[in-house]
Amino acid sequence: MKQRGAHTALEVEHKYARYAEMASWVVMILVLLFVRFIPQEIIDKDSVYYLAGGIMSFALLYYYVFTKYLNPRQRFWIKNVTDVVFIAILIHLLQDFKTFFFALYLLPLISAALYLNVIDSLLLATTAVLFVGAEIFLQSQELIQPERLIIGSWQIAFMVFITLFTRFLALQLVEERSAKKRAVRESVRAGEISRIQRDFIAQSGHQLLTPLSIIQGNVSLFLAGTLGKTSPKQKEFLETIYRHTQRLVKIVDEMMRLASAEERRATLHVQPSDLNELVETAVDEMRPRAEEKGLKVHFEAAGGLPKLLLDPDKIEQVILNVMDNAVKYTKKGLIFITVKKMPGSWVQVAVKDTGPGIKAEDQGHLFDRFFRAPDIQQVAKEEGTGLGLSIAKVLIEKHGGKIWFESEYGKGSTFYFKLPVAH
Amino acid sequence: MRVLIIDDEDDVLTMYKERLEADKFEIETASNGQKGLDLAFANPPDVILLDIIMPKFNGLDVLQMLKSRTETKDVPVYLLTNLPEEASGEKAKQLGAAGYLVKANNEPSTVANLLKGLASAQKRE
């Protein structure tokens, strides 16, 4: 499911990809029809109609057969390649190098740049360039103007530029979108649960304590003599009522404090898991982003690691949150992730970065909800919710583990968390 | 000393009224925010005991209204409530409440003593 290049390009299943696909087919067919109006001397119409027939058949083949047997990305790749090939043939037949037919190349190049990964889209651009180059070469053999050569070179340069620029745009869009989605998800989740929790706690607390306080208050009126004289025996039993009411109040109060102190009521779905694998998957997911920033990512797994009882989704989230920070705030250098067996039945994961480090006055607040270091805007232009670490802390502690860090301002930080090995 | 108590529970009003009247305080009661404000503006009391969680007109809104009018803005308001202090203590202080009394921990006699202390402090001024 996680394809190598899939997360560095817009998804091919994206609805606009379908529209782009259909649009390019329509344009091609219109162009072929247009060919009909070109005078006979210039082209051999029969070959063009053979080409048109070829395209039609391919279209049928494409949609009924390929759709069944190939995945969207493969289909997309084949379509773009055939587009380029047919355009090259068309241009050759028409001997027309002018802008209109050349511009047809841009359709497959742009869609490849948007929806396919780097290598594929560059290969396609290279193929198109080769065709254009070949056409120039063939034409120059018939001794035509050098301006053809110049136009041709410009066209090649333009195609390369368009491909690279579109890729760059696509990457930006993907980054933005996934960062936004993540931030929204996190804050919605945390915000929603806290609000619901807080409302529930306040409501139930209030509903329990109101009658309790009235009972207690009324009994106290008896005991204080405000309601008239009470015999010593009456007082004794009233005092019993009073005492037990007080107990109840204390219990409810304590319960409410406990419930509101707990950040998340998330239930853990614990199962025996391979921590090395979990960390490695998370590292792989982070790696492209880090490497694009020019950071080196190094991962060292622990040897002979037993399976740990943990909730894999929650732990993966912890690792991603911690690594997300490392990638976000480190401008250059490396990110070093290790998994180690520690004495006393613990397994420790460390994420070390060569980032800006954390100031001493901020260190105590790092795991607070919504905390972001005040100078962080200078370090990272990216938005953050300030929830990543507080969520990580809650999740790790729910597993019976511990999360902490070491940091030197200006040098970098290392975040650690450890989880118990169950017996 | 005149005390206005605003609380949606009639039993709470009866409870505090019983004790405070025995201690010679003049008591006025209101079972909702609007009635409470009407009484306060018509005849400003010396102290107001205000419940926070009330249907329709929230206690904090009532507090805000009290603080916005000249005739009532200097009247000390004690928030009488069942929520633990962390729940809205900050907001209450921001709005200018004089204090926060958790009902379950502050039965009528405690409140009476508090108000007695307040009364003698006011006399001294």
Residues 6+ apart with CB under 8 A from B76: B47, B48, B98, B99, B118
Chain B residues inside the 8 Å CB shell of A252? 104
Asked if the Cβ–Cβ distance from A209 to B19 is below 8 Å, we say: no
Per-residue confidence (pLDDT) for residue A2, from 0 to 100: 38
Q: Is the pLDDT higher at A201 or at A261?
A: A201
Per-residue confidence (pLDDT) for residue A265, from 0 to 100: 44
Q: Is the pLDDT reported for residue A1 higher than 60?
A: no
Q: Are A106 and A98 in contact (CB under 8 A)?
A: no
Q: Are A136 and A149 in contact (CB under 8 A)?
A: yes
Chain B residues inside the 8 Å CB shell of A217? 12, 15-16, 103, 107-108
Q: Is the pLDDT reported for residue A102 higher than 80?
A: no
Of the ranges A121-125, A130-134, A375-379, which one carries the lowest mean pLDDT score? A375-379
Which of A17-31, A245-259, A332-346, B94-108 is most confident?
Answer: A332-346
Cα–Cα distance measured from residue A11 to residue A417, given in angstroms and rounded to the nearest whole number: 34
List, for chain B, all residue ranges whose pLDDT scores fall below the cut of 70.
84-91, 125
Window B:34-93, CB contacts with A under 8 Å: 53, 82-84, 86-87
Query: Dihedral angle at the C-alpha atoms of A393, A394, A395, A401, nearest 10 degrees?
Result: 60
What is the ipTM metric for this complex? 0.78
* A57's tokens: 């058949």
Q: Is the pLDDT reported for residue A152 higher than 80?
A: no
Of the ranges A187-196, A223-232, A261-270, B4-13, which one carries the lowest mean pLDDT score? A261-270
CATH number for B2-124: choose from 3.40.50.2300, 3.60.40.10, 3.40.640.10, 3.40.228.10: 3.40.50.2300
Cα–Cα distance measured from residue A266 to residue A283, given in angstroms and rounded to the nearest whole number: 25
Using left for φ > 0, alpha for ψ between -120 and 50, and beta otherwise, residue B69 falls in: beta
Report chain A's mean pLDDT, rounded to a whole number. 78
Q: What kind and span of H or E run contains A384?
A: none
Q: Is the pLDDT reported for residue A141 higher than 80?
A: no
Of the ranges A199-213, A316-330, B24-38, which one carries the lowest mean pLDDT score? A199-213
Task: Supply angle C-alpha B52, B54, B60, rounded to 5.
Answer: 40
* Distance (Å) from the alpha carbon of B50 to chain A's nearest alpha carbon: 14
- Which of A209, A224, A257 has the CB atom closest to B82's CB atom? A209
Per-residue confidence (pLDDT) for residue A389, from 0 to 100: 84
Q: What is the pLDDT of residues A233-288, one digit of tens each?
A: 999 999 999 988 988 888 887 777 666 555 444 566 788 888 999 998 888 888 88
Q: Is the pLDDT reported for residue A360 higher than 70?
A: yes
- For an interface test with A, give the residue of B107, B110, B111 to mutate (most A CBs within 10 A): B107
Say if A224 is an interface residue toward chain B (CB within 8 Å). Answer: yes
In percent, how much of chain A has pLDDT > 90?
12
Per-residue pLDDT band for A404 (boundaries 50, 70, 90) equals very high
Q: Locate the domains of chain B by residue range.
A: 2-124
In A95-145, which residue ranges form alpha helices assigned H by DSSP?
A: 99-103, 106-115, 118-141
